[in-house]
Amino acid sequence: MKLVWWFSVPKIVFGDDALSELEIIQGERAIIITDKVVNGLGLADTVSNKLCERQWSTAIWDGAIPDPKVSTVKEAAEAMKQFGADWIIAIGGGSVIDTAKAAWVLYEKPDVQLDALTPFDILGLRAKAKLVCIPTTAGTGSEATKAIVIRDDETGRKFATINPELTPDLALLDPTFVVGLPKDFTAYTGMDALTHTIEGYISVWKNDFSDGCSLQAVKMIFNWLPKSVEDLSDLEAREKMLVAACLAGMSFGNSQAALAHSLGHSMGSVLRLHHGLSVGMALPYTIEFNCRDNEDCASQYAELAGIIGITGKDHVKVSMKLAEAVRDLMGKIGSPRSFAEAGVTRDIFDEGLERLVEFAMMDSSLTMNPRNTDSHEIRKMYEYMFEGKVIDF
Amino acid sequence: MTEKLVFPSDEWIEKYVDALNKNARYEDAAKTWEGDFVFQIDADGKTIPEDVRFYLDLWHGKCRSARMAGPEDTAEFVYAGPLSNWKLLFDGKIDPIKGIMARKFKLTGDMGKVMRYTKAALELVATTREIPTKYLDE
Ligand SMILES: NC(=O)c1ccc[n+]([C@@H]2O[C@H](COP(=O)([O-])OP(=O)(O)OC[C@H]3O[C@@H](n4cnc5c(N)ncnc54)[C@H](O)[C@@H]3O)[C@@H](O)[C@H]2O)c1
Ligand SMILES: [Fe+2]
What's the pLDDT tens digit per position in A21-73? 999 999 999 999 999 999 999 999 999 999 999 999 999 999 999 999 999 99
To test the pocket of ligand 1, the residue of A39, A73, A95 to mutate (highest count of ligand atoms within 8 Å of its CB) is A95
- Cα-based distances in Å from B22 to A205, A373, B18, B126: 29, 17, 7, 13
A contact test, residue of B91, B94, B115, B127 with most A CBs within 10 A: B115
A148 Cα nearest atom in ligand 1: 1
Domain that holds residue B69: 5-128
Distance A348 CA to ligand 2 centre (A): 24
What's the pLDDT tens digit per position in A142-175? 999 999 999 999 999 999 899 999 999 999 999 9
What's the pLDDT tens digit per position in B102-138? 999 999 999 889 989 999 999 999 999 999 999 988 8
| A11-14: strand order across its sheet | A11-14, A170-173, A130-135, A87-92, A29-33, A57-61
Measured distance CA(A140)–CA(A248) in Å, rounded: 8
Specify the pTM.
0.96
A249 Cα nearest atom in ligand 1: 3
User: Which residues from B are below 8 Å from A when comparing CB atoms?
Assistant: 24-25, 28-29, 88, 93-95, 97-98, 100-104, 107, 110-113, 115-119, 121-122, 126
CATH of A11-177, one of 3.10.180.10, 3.30.420.40, 3.40.50.1970, 1.10.10.10: 3.40.50.1970
A272 touches A166 (CB < 8 A) = no
Q: Decide: A94 in ligand 1 pocket, CB within 6 A.
A: yes
Is the backbone of residue B60 left (phi > 0), alpha (psi -120 to 50) or beta?
A: left
Q: Decide: A212 in ligand 1 pocket, CB within 6 A.
A: no
- Cα-based distances in Å from A268 to A37, A236, A257, A281, A350: 20, 31, 16, 12, 16
- DSSP 8-state class, residue A3: P
The distance of Cα A223 from the centroid of its chain, to the nearest Å, equals 20
Residue A120 has pLDDT above 90, yes or no: no
Kindly report the average pLDDT of chain A as a whole number.
97
Residue B95 and residue A367: Cβ atoms within 8 Å? yes
What's the pLDDT tens digit per position in B7-47? 999 999 999 999 999 999 999 999 999 999 999 999 999 99
Residue A23 is predicted with a pLDDT of 94
What's the pLDDT tens digit per position in A60-73? 999 999 999 999 99
Identify the CATH number of the domain in which residue B46 sits: 3.30.1050.10
Measured distance CA(A106)–CA(A74) in Å, rounded: 7
Residue A320 is predicted with a pLDDT of 98
Residue nearest to atom 5 of ligand 1 (CA): A140
Residue A200 has pLDDT above 70, yes or no: yes
What's the pLDDT tens digit per position in A330-356? 999 999 999 999 999 999 999 999 999
Measured from the Cβ of residue A354, the count of other Cβ atoms closer than 10 Å reads: 12
Q: In this prediction, what percent of chain A has a pLDDT beyond 90?
A: 95
DSSP secondary structure string for all residues of A129-160 = -EEEEEESSSS--GGG-SEEEEE-TTT--EEE
Residue B1 has pLDDT above 80, yes or no: no
CA neighbours closer than 13 Å in the CB half-sphere of residue A193: 34
DSSP secondary structure string for all residues of A290-301 = HHHH-HHHHHHH
B81 touches B105 (CB < 8 A) = yes
Looking at this protein, which amino acid is placed at residue B12? W
Burial (Cβ within 10 Å: 0-12, 13-18, ≥19) of residue B1: exposed
What's the pLDDT tens digit per position in A268-316? 999 999 999 999 999 999 999 999 989 999 999 999 999 999 999 999 9
- Whether residue B134 lies inside any domain: the answer is no
- Whether residue B44 lies inside any domain: the answer is yes
3-state secondary structure (DSSP) of residue B112 = helix
- Whether residue B135 lies inside any domain: the answer is no
What's the pLDDT tens digit per position in A98-115? 999 999 999 999 999 999
A268 Cα nearest atom in ligand 1: 43
Give me the number of domains chain B comprises.
Answer: 1
Residue B112 is predicted with a pLDDT of 85
d(CA A72, nearest CA chain B) in Å: 21
Residue B138 is predicted with a pLDDT of 87
A35 Cα nearest atom in ligand 1: 37
- Whether residue B112 lies inside any domain: the answer is yes
Measured distance CA(A321)–CA(A329) in Å, rounded: 12
A270 touches A278 (CB < 8 A) = no
Q: Decide: A370 in ligand 1 pocket, CB within 6 A.
A: no
Residue A125 has pLDDT above 70, yes or no: yes
Query: A183-387: what fold?
Result: Dehydroquinate synthase-like, alpha domain (1.20.1090)
- Whether residue B137 lies inside any domain: the answer is no
In chain B, what residues touch A121 (CB-CB under 8 Å)?
Answer: 111
Residue B110 and residue A3: Cβ atoms within 8 Å? no
Residue B111 is predicted with a pLDDT of 86
DSSP secondary structure string for all residues of A319-354 = HHHHHHHHHHHHHHHT--SSTTTTT--HHHHHHHHH
Helices then strands, counting H and E runs in chain B, come out as 6, 7
Residue nearest to atom 28 of ligand 1 (CA): A136
- Whether residue B16 lies inside any domain: the answer is yes
Distance A85 CA to ligand 2 centre (A): 29
Measured distance CA(A40)–CA(A18) in Å, rounded: 21
Residue A261 is predicted with a pLDDT of 97
Measured distance CA(B135)–CA(B6) in Å, rounded: 5
Residue nearest to atom 43 of ligand 1 (CA): A149
Task: Give the mean pLDDT of A252-271.
Answer: 97
Measured from the Cβ of residue A126, the count of other Cβ atoms closer than 10 Å reads: 12
Integer-rounded Cα radius of gyration of chain B: 14
What's the pLDDT tens digit per position in A215-233? 999 999 999 999 999 999 9
Q: Decide: A200 in ligand 1 pocket, CB within 6 A.
A: no
Residue B98 and residue A119: Cβ atoms within 8 Å? no
Within chain A, all domains assigned CATH 1.20.1090.10 are found at 183-387
Measured distance CA(A186)–CA(A393) in Å, rounded: 32
pLDDT confidence bin for A119, thresholds 50/70/90: confident
Distance A257 CA to ligand 1 centre (A): 17
A68 Cα nearest atom in ligand 1: 41
Distance A39 CA to ligand 2 centre (A): 23
In chain A, what residues touch B61 (CB-CB under 8 Å)?
Answer: none
In chain A, what residues touch B93 (CB-CB under 8 Å)?
Answer: 3
To test the pocket of ligand 1, the residue of A167, A191, A266, A275 to mutate (highest count of ligand atoms within 8 Å of its CB) is A275
What's the pLDDT tens digit per position in A207-217? 999 999 999 99
Residue B121 is predicted with a pLDDT of 95
Measured distance CA(A303)–CA(A300) in Å, rounded: 5
B75 touches B113 (CB < 8 A) = no
Within chain A, all domains assigned CATH 3.40.50.1970 are found at 11-177
Residue A1 is predicted with a pLDDT of 58
What's the pLDDT tens digit per position in B54-108? 999 999 999 999 999 999 999 999 999 999 999 999 999 889 999 998 999 999 9
Residue A118 has pLDDT above 90, yes or no: no
